[in-house]
Amino acid sequence: MKDLVYRLTVAVGAFLVWRLERLIAWGSRVGNPAFFRHEQFAWVAAVDAQWRRIREELEVVLRRREDLPNFQDISRGQVGLTNDDRWKTFFFYAYGFQAPQICVRCPETTRILAQIPGMKTAFFSILSPGKHIPRHRGPYKGVIRYHLGLIVPEPKERCRIQVGDEIRHWEEGRSLIFDDTYPHQVWNDTDGLRAVLFVDFVRPLRFPANVLNGIILKLIAWSPFVQDGVANYKRWEATFDRMGAELPRAP
């Protein structure tokens, strides 16, 4: 019964949110392309420039890669996208909810994330060789997605993302900024690990869309979809602690 209530609440919420997206698109101060230009966001160059500091902390985290949660372990609604152990995550924030122990252990990444206006969700997204994330769309147009390439295996052109009709590939130290409500899919057709800093930040909007967006984002944060993910993360962290597997600290 609890699972049925969860599914119905998420479905109804998603329907209502999608009906409001036309207003969000109208109010967008940065247009509605599949991919955005870096120059549209004043903070991007400064954050991109600090990528090596973030990567240093990621490399420490990757010493325990097998113990990290799979994406569907945290967000069970994603089981249709991935049901194996080849998409690992390491969350800092989820719709504004902080993972305090993670942030303490990665202080440089946490400091840099604070430089992103309207940052709502942030985590390391880690794809194993051969992983394909099938075509899907994001839940809500009120946020924009930022991927900063941290580890990109060669040939980099085979580690790529399609958003709408456009295909691009990641590069270390360079970001991709896109609207995830366009249908999109991801491939890592290499023999190496791909890792990015994955961030959702609030879309710049004009009035009254900005006010409505703020309300919607608060409702989403307290929805069963997000609260379930927060609870799953806390359970993973508790299990991790009981194993005596202390998360390593960056030097």
Q: What is the rounded average pLDDT of the residues 180-201? A: 97
Residue 212 burial (C-beta neighbours within 10 Å; 0-12, 13-18, 19+): middle
Domains of the chain as residue ranges with CATH: 2-242 (2.60.120.330)
**pLDDT value at 6 more than 50:** no
**pLDDT value at 15 more than 80:** no
What is the C-alpha to C-alpha distance for residues 213 and 108, in angstroms, rounded to an integer? 30
What's the chain's average pLDDT? Answer: 87
The tens digit of pLDDT for each residue in 85-104 reads 899 999 999 988 898 888 88
Helix (H) or strand (E) holding 225: helix 224-242
pTM for this predicted structure: 0.89
Alpha helices in 168-223 (DSSP H): 209-221
Of the candidates 87, 115, 116, 110, which has an alpha carbon nearest to the alpha carbon of residue 98?
A: 110
Of the candidates 122, 146, 125, 126, which has an alpha carbon nearest to the alpha carbon of residue 46?
A: 146
List strand residue ranges (DSSP E) for 100-193, in order.
Answer: 119-127, 132-136, 143-151, 159-163, 166-169, 175-178, 184-188
